[in-house]
A = this chain, B = another copy of it.
Amino acid sequence: MGAAIYHKTEYRERRDHYAVFWANREPDAFDTQREAFLGVYGSPARPEAVFGDGCTDSVAHGWQPIAAQEFDLELKSGESESILFGLGYIENPQDEKWAAPGVVNKTRAEAMIARYADDTSFDRAMETLRAHWSGLLGKYQVATGDERLDRMVNIWNQYQCMVTFNMSRSASYYESGMGRGMGFRDSCQDLLGFVHMIPERARERILDIAATQFPDGSAYHQYQPLTKKGNLDVGSGFNDDPLWLIAGTDAYLRETGDFGILDEQVDFDNDHALARPLLEHLRRSFTYTRTHLGPHGLPLIGRADWNDCLNLNCFSEHPGESFQITGPSEGPVAESVFIGGMFVKYGRDWVNILRHVGLDSEADEALEAIGAVEKAVLDAGWDGEWFRRAYDAFGHVVGGKECEEGQIFIEPQGMCVMAGIGVQSGEAARALESVEQRLDTKYGIVLLNPAYTRYHLELGEISSYPPGYKENAGIFCHNNPWIVCAETELGHGDRAFQVYRRTAPAFIEDISDIHRTEPYVYSQMIAGKDAPSFGEAKNSWLTGTAAWTFLSISQAILGVKPTLDGLRIDPCVPSGCKGFTLTRQYRGAVYEITVNNPEGAQHGVKELRVDGELFQGDLIPVSAPGATVRVEVLLG
């Protein structure tokens, strides 16, 4: 029954694998030579076999082998037929490679084909696959009444989080080559959106990443997923990197409560002789930033921080030079307000971890260092209406009113407010107003404004892009959710959701002709208002946007926040939201959460009931594995 096309190029004594393409019905014709299928001057846009007289039973010998099967069907109106196609890959053991001299052993392929021989067995396999994905995505499921939001949260955003966890930024179909490997910073952030799905794999990843860290706490900027070793080409000196390890590990601890990971012996620089507990790695991350402060008491930026294109210590004048690693690249003057915000935010997470493992005096000392940087951010980092971005190598402000171009950047506004800086004293609210006034567009928030119109030697790559693209005032999707999270810190549910939905794929399906990338997946960038193609997205799939948007919707807006000690319930929703129900699997228990918002509040838990009982506070302690916990929330 059926027919299979085998691709066995170079399957000989040395090579042991082949591919197979099959159908569960005998074809009327086939092709295996690409040129025969496409036509001599044909192309996939117009294959001769499809537009012409059909397949010609071509047999490939070299060139480009393909596999095509032709079925001549006549269907009456309403009639349907089922043909199953399969594409498989087989490796044979050395002593089972041949059925006869020169004849490939197809036993394994035939067994595989038999497994999917008819609709029943196919449906059964599909059901297994569906159950697998339901299990993975079922850890967080919401019903809000808005089909688009549910679809993003329950399926596509989580799925994209898994893809970015697996691929980081390597193997993109927009970029070629294996050069990049996995980013230290990227992979740590990807954890934030993935850790709830398969915590075991997140654990393994954290240990892999930490093992590439240098003994002084700094990090290779990239590492190779196959060797799990740091990538020498780009080296280190991206001074935000170390703190992301705290962020990723803290997310894992909050999800799992697995504090045992902190005791794991982990290499430094992949040298087993240098192995120390993971806790020591986090300590060195924190210490690296604490001990690398600049003239204003802000963290030194090094080669770059999160924004790889803001190169304050690299002065490249010639084409072909790397913007990150040419010339001095690092220096003792240029500082990053953004890393200042990170240090406050993830430093506090570090303090919480320290307290949890009983290192209170170290926690107190850390808090002191954090306080000093927080003060520096509010002093040297505050421009009057927003947070500055940095100081360059000459001590000049980057991202301030005095700047000719690039007066305000998104990153420090998001990160500093997320860190809680200026929330009490008013700078936070003022900064977010400035974002809305100066960076907002109908398609998302641009990275900076005004765009750079010429190359600034002292700023580097960011000013090499045309206005409105990439980091030069593009809508860099990754940091839009930072503003979402920041707005929820201030209880601004309407604004938070407004920002969220402007870049959420399901909400912008009706502008697909402008947006152009897949309407179910986030892209790295959307062209900003200064670009001729304003609203056009690029580089879908592999972007930290996936993790951060999932964080922003699942934790900041819908408000289910894992903490070291349990789930905190603290939604911050648009006033039009009447409520929602949500299922969250957490440390083995299932939380069935119902949120009611009869008065149209944006924020504030008025009443919380756990299994019907009134509950004080908003932090629900960890329940026993297997338990189902019923949570009712009244906003107001």
Contacts and interface: CB of A to CB of B under 8 A. Distances in A.
Interface of A: 10, 12-17, 39, 41-46, 59, 61-62, 101-102, 316-319, 321, 453-455, 457, 464, 466, 469, 527, 531-533, 538
Residue picked from A39, A45, A101, A469, most chain B C-beta under 10 Å? A45
A61 to B, nearest CB: 5
Nearest to A456: B13
Contact of A533 (B17, B41, B61): B61
Interface SS majority for chain A: loop
Contacts of A10: 319, 464
A102 B454 CA distance: 8
Contact of A102 (B12, B16, B453, B464): B453
Contacts of A318: 14
A215 B533 CA distance: 61
5 contacts: A12-B454, A14-B319, A43-B43, A43-B46, A102-B454
A55 B15 CA distance: 50
Given A316-B14, A319-B16, A466 B45 contact: no
A46 B42 CA distance: 8
Nearest to A39: B45
Nearest to A538: B62
B533 A62 contact: yes
| This protein's copies in its complex | 2
Given A14-B316, A43-B43, A466-B61, A101 B454 contact: yes
A15 B319 contact: yes
Nearest to A316: B14
Nearest to A13: B455
A18 to B, nearest CB: 12
Given A62-B538, A466-B61, A538-B62, A455 B42 contact: no
B12 A464 contact: yes
A222 to B, nearest CB: 22
Nearest to A11: B319
Contacts of A44: 43
Residue picked from A12, A15, A16, A44, most chain B C-beta under 10 Å? A12
**9 nearest A-B pairs in the assembled complex, by CB-CB distance:** A13-B455, A43-B45, A43-B43, A15-B319, A61-B532, A61-B533, A12-B455, A46-B46, A14-B319
Contacts of A455: 12-14
A11 to B, nearest CB: 10
Given A62-B469, A62-B538, 7 more contacts: A10-B464, A12-B455, A13-B454, A13-B457, A14-B319, A61-B531, A62-B533
A122 to B, nearest CB: 29
Contact of A46 (B16, B45, B59, B469): B45
Contacts of A59: 532
A12 B454 CA distance: 7
Contacts of A454: 12-13, 101-102
Contacts of A469: 62
A309 to B, nearest CB: 13
A316 B15 CA distance: 11
Contacts of A453: 102
Contacts of A466: 61
Contacts of A17: 319
Contacts of A316: 14
